[in-house]
Amino acid sequence: PFDVLVIGGGPAGVSSAIYAARKGLRTGIIAERFGGQILDTLGIENFISVPYTEGPKLAENFKEHVKRYDIDVMERQRAKSIRRNELLEVELEKGAVVKSKTVIIATGARWRNVNVPGEKEFKNKGVAYCPHCDGPLFAGKDVAVIGGGNSGIEAAIDLAGIVRHVTVLEFLPQLKADKVLQERLYRLPNVTVLTNVQTKEFTGKEKLDGITYIERDTNQEKHIEVQGVFVQIGLVPNTEWLEGTIERNAMGEIIVNEKNETSMPGVFAAGDCTNSPYKQIVIAMGSGATAALSAFDYLIRN
Ligand code: FAD
């Protein structure tokens, strides 16, 4: 059996595996897609000490770093369930059961898509999901934000300070964001809010050049020109497979304490799959390190 079995090969999982291996622990990683969300990221400008890198390049660096240690990497494998017998047992979708004394869950999250024509085609060519990451790429341009919840309105306020103009599109007749955020938003001079509208298509040729939407009360189709659109309709944690075993909040995020312990003894969690309030690479790496050190602590006490 492993001492530490990490589920997930993104920034959180890789960081926890390296920390665990450096403690001399027998460490394994099970990852569906080694690298995680960064594989879908082009420019990364906030990975501190590296002023600019690209997702696929950073994923290569992860691989190189992991190779320096005796870490057993099992790629293209999906965990299906976890249970505790004498040891912790993780069942894989392909049928095998992997045993370990401790487990670190780092299965990350995925952005909810609007699923309209153009979304896939213009991803990274105007269609973005992370304002902290990609906002500065649209400095001086016109952008739209899809979604009038807290994350959408926070994104719009954030972007309004960087871009020329922001249009918010919300499907419901009113915004769902907290009142303070809405007040803040309505005080900004370069923001337009469209409610009761349905996004129909992201348009463009090589790159995104606009959005077609339908006014739901009049059924009229309209088009606005934008160079960027931020989709902000939710981040979904990859935790469905933990149903009934590990405690999660209403959003499906794994609840962890400051030591990254979960509700199951010996099981830790890190990164975007947890209730950590902010989801970023450096934050995921930090929590991965914390989870590994906590697992080490657990092992020397049990
Ligand atoms: P993830 O990166 O999501 O990794 C999860 C891992 O778990 C993957 O290997 C996945 O395959 C695996 N997995 C999932 N389910 C299972 C399962 N059941 N069994 C086995 N394996 C499983 N952050 C920044 O700091 N700067 C940026 O510039 C930036 N840009 C971004 C741009 C885009 C388009 C996106 C989508 C995100 C961006 N982020 C950025 C956010 C950043 O990528 C995430 O915060 C970070 O990747 C989270 O790391 P993680 O390890 O928690 O999860």
Are the CB atoms for 208 and 202 separated by under 8 Å? yes
Residue 122 C-alpha to ligand 1 middle, in angstroms? 20
| 207 and 138, same domain (yes or no) | yes
Q: Rounded CA gap, 273 and 105, in Å?
A: 8
Q: Which of 40, 130, 158, 297 is catalytic?
A: 130
pLDDT of residue 33: 96
| 173 and 138, same domain (yes or no) | yes
**Residue 261 falls inside a structural domain:** yes
From 210, 231, 252, give the residue that closes a domain: 231
Atom 52 of ligand 1, residue of closest alpha carbon? 271
Are the CB atoms for 30 and 90 separated by under 8 Å? yes
Q: Rounded CA gap, 210 and 222, in Å?
A: 10
From 196, 231, 266, give the residue that closes a domain: 231
**Residue 216 falls inside a structural domain:** yes
Buried b (16+ CB within 10 A) or exposed e, 58-69: bbeebeeebeee
| 162 and 226, same domain (yes or no) | yes
ipTM computed for the complex: 0.99
Mean pLDDT of the chain: 96
**Residue 118 falls inside a structural domain:** no
The domain total for the chain is 2
**Residue 153 falls inside a structural domain:** yes
Pick the residue with more confidence: 42 or 295? Answer: 295
| 256 and 217, same domain (yes or no) | no
| 98 and 185, same domain (yes or no) | no
pLDDT of residue 257: 98
Residue 96 C-alpha to ligand 1 middle, in angstroms? 25
Segment 44-55 mean pLDDT? 94
**Residue 145 falls inside a structural domain:** yes
Q: Which atom of ligand 1 is nearest to the CA of 128?
A: 34
Strand order in the sheet with 127-128: 127-128, 228-231, 142-146, 165-169, 191-194
Segment 68-82 mean pLDDT? 97
| 40 and 105, same domain (yes or no) | yes
| 202 and 60, same domain (yes or no) | no
* DSSP per-residue codes, the chain: -EEEEEE--SHHHHHHHHHHHTTT--EEEEESSTTGGGGG--EE--BTTBSSEEHHHHHHHHHHHHHTS-EEEEES--EEEEEESSSEEEEETTS-EEEEEEEEE---EEEPP---TTTTTTBTTTEES-HHHHGGGGTTSEEEEE--SHHHHHHHHHHHTTSSEEEEE-SSSS--S-HHHHHHHHT-TTEEEE-SEEEEEEEESSSEEEEEEEETTTTEEEEEE-SEEEE-S-EEES-GGGTTTS-B-TTSPBP--TT-B-SSTTEEE-GGGB--S---HHHHHHHHHHHHHHHHHHHHH-
Q: Which domain holds residue 223?
A: 127-231
Q: Is 297 labeled as catalytic in the residue annotation?
A: no
Q: Is 273 labeled as catalytic in the residue annotation?
A: no
201-227 residue pLDDT tens: 999 999 999 999 999 999 999 999 999
| 104 and 239, same domain (yes or no) | yes
Is 80 exceeded by the pLDDT of residue 36? Answer: yes
Q: Which of 148, 146, 154, 97 is nearest to 126 (CA)?
A: 146
pLDDT of residue 175: 96
pLDDT of residue 152: 96
pLDDT of residue 108: 98
From 187, 203, 231, give the residue that closes a domain: 231
Segment 172-194 mean pLDDT? 96
pLDDT of residue 42: 74
| 134 and 207, same domain (yes or no) | yes
Pocket test residue of 30, 41, 274 for ligand 1, highest count of atoms within 8 A of CB: 41
Residue 129 C-alpha to ligand 1 middle, in angstroms? 12
Residue 166 C-alpha to ligand 1 middle, in angstroms? 27
Pocket test residue of 33, 38, 124, 236 for ligand 1, highest count of atoms within 8 A of CB: 38
**Residue 146 falls inside a structural domain:** yes
Q: Which residues line ligand 1 (CB under 6 A)?
A: 7-13, 30-34, 36-38, 40-41, 44, 46, 78-79, 106-109, 111, 129-130, 133, 238, 241, 271-272, 279-282, 284
| 57 and 151, same domain (yes or no) | no
Q: What distances in angstroms separate CA 156 from CA 128, 172, 226, one per listed residue? A: 13, 17, 14
Q: Is 133 labeled as catalytic in the residue annotation?
A: yes
Question: What is the CATH classification number for the domain harbouring 218?
Answer: 3.50.50.60
Residue 180's pLDDT band, with cuts at 50, 70 and 90, is very high
Residue 278 C-alpha to ligand 1 middle, in angstroms? 13
Q: Which atom of ligand 1 is nearest to the CA of 37?
A: 2
| 99 and 138, same domain (yes or no) | no
Segment 176-196 mean pLDDT? 97
**Residue 117 falls inside a structural domain:** no
| 198 and 271, same domain (yes or no) | no
Q: Which of 88, 63, 87, 66 is nearest to 22 (CA)?
A: 66
Please state, as a whole number, how many other Cβ atoms lie within 10 Å of the Cβ of residue 50: 12
Q: Which of 133, 142, 209, 297 is catalytic?
A: 133
115: left (phi over 0), alpha (psi -120 to 50) or beta: left
**Residue 289 falls inside a structural domain:** yes
Segment 116-131 mean pLDDT? 95
Q: Rounded CA gap, 46 and 6, in Å?
A: 25
